[in-house]
Amino acid sequence: MENAEFARLLAETADLMEIAAEDGFRIRSYRNAAAAIEGYPERVADILANPARSVTEIPGVGKGLSFVLQEIRERGSFERRDEMLARYPPTALEMLKIQGLGPKSIALIIEHYRVSTIDGLEKLAREQKLRELPRMGAKLEEKVLRSIAGYRRSAGRFLLSFATEAADEFKAYLAESPGVEQVESAGSVRRGKETVGDVDLLVCGGDPQEVLSRFTSHPRVTEVLAKGGNKASAKIGLEGLQVDVRVLPRESYGAAMQYFTGSKVHNVALRTRALKFGLTLNEYGLSKVESGERVAGETEEEIYRALGLDWTPPELRENHGEIEAAEKHALPRLVELADIRGDLHMHTRETDGRATLLEMAETARLRGYEYIAVTDHSKALAMANGLDEARVVAFAKQVRALNAEGKAGIRVFSGLECDIRRDGTMDIEWDALAELDLVIASVHSHMNLESAEMTDRLLRALECPHVKVLGHPTGRILLHREGYAYDFDKVAADAARRGVALEINASPERLDVHAALIRAAKAKGCKFTVATDAHHPKHLANMPFGVKMARRGWLEAGDVLNTLPSGRFLPAFRNS
């Protein structure tokens, strides 16, 4: 069981208790523990399993909660949660995922209308019945309807990082089957989509039945959904992620890779094109319509070539112009992980990170980077012990000394993730910011402003001459929260004009900003950074997810400023 799962159960129960208007102290303690566990660098399940350790070492976890966590580990729930679920149907929990509705509103809706499902809620909003309740109005109804649509889109989906980890585990496992030559991810994992419905694995070589039996007998498999001649599907883990495995002969492996990588809309466009050439394309290969003669199938390259196209990177296969570009030999040369020379967003023990600057620097050095920017929080994030002006200035000085002595083994840029206040001003005085190499400006509060006010707030933040990067530009949390509302194009245009880079935040639950907005911003002339927002040395390994996003946004190395060598890096920001 992963920490996120422990955290989810605690937070959920806290929410249900809030619907029930229970004691605020207990609710807060569950929430605090959930937040602490979520960000804890070690697995809670491992600590619980180790008799020499105690989970009370996690800040915010006391004796009472340690029993709760033990109970969760043993049976996947705990007494208080069961009690709450007996009082409210589990669907009430789903209602909590609808943005704009707090527990008090939900309690009111359940009490007044006896409605506790998403469908019921949608009906109430459509029939304009929410506005009959206190403190609810037409605006809320609209927001609820939009939020329900978003919720339906994300239900049953998983973070790319989670799916990738599972895919890698099963790839390694299946590769050990006798005779297996190759195992690869297809589907949305291969395309680098930020959320994934299911994992698609393609196996080449080996005896299909033997490979599939090995798959379905994996200890993490909880339910076998289907098992046929060359395909099996199963659910894995508590989370119920589905994995599809197909075993294919060498001669059609490329065709199957192409077909099962998708996306569906890309494939449809490709098949239409094939027909114009008198060819049919399916998962077995490309063949002539008339004679049935096969012209390609063993590799993807030969299929694209036979259709008069350059091989198209999976991240681009969304039928958003990639086929036209491939025809004209005009596909971008997408940025690669190896192009990235440094990570530009990370936190240390000074604020809410788990390691020291030197520990972060060492891990970055081992990853092969030339430089890092250390960007702790500013004082508005009091809970994270954010830096005030005096600490900012002292930090800048410390980093200058560190670089002069060469003690970090890597070039360190002094940075800050400075909060953007509600009115768009910086949380730190300008003369202190002036001491730093790289100021990232980010929104962490007042995320529900009206679009016009949020737009002005961000535009004002860009006016500060020391701001070089706009951090996690939309503020979305995948499967959890949509980004804040504002005029993205306007802000992107201003960022481009001023030479402020947009961050592509590689943290798996953010992956912010996403493909469509990256392309829109690039069209306005924006530059980008790709950075992990690491709070622990191991988070530096999330860079590939950020690079995937950049690639999905058609970015080349020249669009990403942390591909520049350290000597040319700083002057690439800020023209005004």
Q: What value, to the nearest 5°, has the Cα angle with vertex 18 and ends 12 and 23? A: 115
What are the structure tokens assigned to 551, written together? Answer: 């690639």
Amino acid letter for position 246: R
Q: Partners of 440 in the beta sheet?
A: 417, 469
Element housing 548 (H / E):
helix 543-552
388 phi and psi, to 5 degrees? -95, -175
CB of 545 to ligand DGT, least distance (A): 15
Task: From the list Zn ion, ligand DGT, Ca ion, none, pick the one residue 412 interacts with, judged by a Cβ distance below 5 to 8 Å according to partner type.
Answer: none
CB 270, min distance to ligand DGT, A: 9
Element (H, E) at 166: helix 160-175
Compute the least distance from the CB of residue 312 to ligand DGT, in Å. 14
In whole angstroms, how close is the CB of 155 to ligand DGT at the nearest point?
Answer: 12
Query: What is the total count of residues that contact Ca ion (CB under 5 A)?
Result: 5
Helix (H) / strand (E) containing 148: helix 138-154
Check: CB of residue 294 under 8 Å from CB of residue 304: no
Residues of this chain, 301-360, that bind Ca ion according to CB under 5 A: none
Looking at the Cβ atoms of 3 and 242, the one nearer to ligand DGT is 242
Segment lying near Ca ion (by CB under 5 A), choices 13-21, 168-176, 238-246, 491-499 = 238-246
| Residue whose entry in the numeric block shows the structure tokens 């196209």 | 309
Could you say whether residue 194 binds Ca ion (CB under 5 A)? Answer: no
Residue selected from 5, 12, 200, 509 as contacting Ca ion according to rule CB under 5 A:
200
Nearer to Zn ion, 313 or 483 (CB): 483
Radius of gyration of the chain (CA): 26
Residue 442 binds which one of Ca ion, Zn ion, ligand DGT, none, with CB within 5 to 8 A depending on kind?
Answer: Zn ion
Angstrom distance (rounded) from CA 428 to CA 123:
47
Q: Which amino acid is at 449?
A: L
Tell me whether residue 200 or residue 512 sits nearer to Ca ion (CB atom).
Answer: 200
3-state helix, strand, coil in the chain (%, to 5): 50, 15, 35
Q: What amino acid is encoded at 310 in this protein?
A: D
**Residues of the shown chain interacting with ligand DGT in the complex, contacts defined by CB under 6 A:** 187-188, 193, 196-198, 200, 259-260, 262-264, 267-268
Q: Does 509 bind Ca ion (CB under 5 A)?
A: no
Token pair 């506790």 in the structure block, residue: 116
Beta carbon of residue 274, minimum distance to Ca ion (angstroms, whole number): 23
Q: What CA–CA distances, in Å, run from 489 to 83, 201, 571?
A: 48, 38, 25
Nearer to Ca ion, 47 or 160 (CB): 160
- Helices then strands, each counted (H, E), the chain: 24, 17
Residues 568, 287: Cα–Cα separation, whole Å: 51
Give CA–CA dist 216/346, Å, rounded.
Answer: 40
Among the listed residues 122, 184, 244, 300, the single contact to Ca ion using CB under 5 A: 244
For residue 442, the minimal CB distance to Zn ion (Å) is 4
Judged by CB under 5 A, which stretch of 184-192, 327-335, 460-468, 510-518 contacts Ca ion? 184-192
Which lies closer to ligand DGT via its Cβ, residue 182 or residue 263?
Answer: 263
Kindly give, in sequence order, each residue whose CB lies less than 8 Å from that of residue 312, ignoring residues fewer than 6 positions away. Answer: 266, 304, 322, 323, 326, 331
Question: Among residue numbers 376 through 405, which ones bind Ca ion (CB under 5 A)?
Answer: none
- 463 binds Ca ion per the rule CB under 5 A: no
Binding site for Zn ion (CB under 5 A): 442
Nearest of 124, 118, 129 to residue 89 by alpha carbon: 118
Query: What minimum distance in Å lies between the beta carbon of 478 and ligand DGT?
Result: 13
* Smallest gap from residue 197 Cβ to Ca ion (A): 5
Min CB(243)–Ca ion separation in Å: 9
Give the separation between CA 527 and CA 53, rounded to whole angstroms: 47
**Member of 11, 27, 108, 187 binding Ca ion (CB under 5 A):** 187
Which residue of this chain has its Cβ atom nearest to ligand DGT in the complex? 262
Shortest Cβ distance from residue 498 to Ca ion (Å)?
A: 40
Smallest gap, in angstroms, from Cβ of residue 266 to ligand DGT? 8
* Residue 192 binds Ca ion (CB under 5 A): no
Binding piece for Ca ion, criterion CB under 5 A, among 114-122, 200-208, 327-335, 487-495: 200-208
122 vs 417, beta carbon nearer Zn ion? 417
Q: Quick one: 200 exposed, middle or buried, by C-beta within 10 A (0-12, 13-18, 19+)?
A: buried
CB closer to ligand DGT out of 262 and 342:
262
CB-CB neighbours of 407 under 10 Å: 12
Among 42, 198, 239, 556, binds Ca ion (CB under 5 A): 198
Least distance in Å: CB of 202 to ligand DGT?
A: 10
Q: Which of ligand DGT, Zn ion, Ca ion, none is residue 260 near (CB under 5 to 8 Å by kind)?
A: ligand DGT
How is residue 560 annotated by DSSP? B
Report the distance separating Cα 91 and Cα 85, nearest Å. Answer: 9
Q: Does 283 bind Ca ion (CB under 5 A)?
A: no
Strands (DSSP E) contained in 362-464 are: 371-377, 411-419, 438-442
- Contact residues for Ca ion, defined by CB under 5 A: 187-188, 198, 200, 244
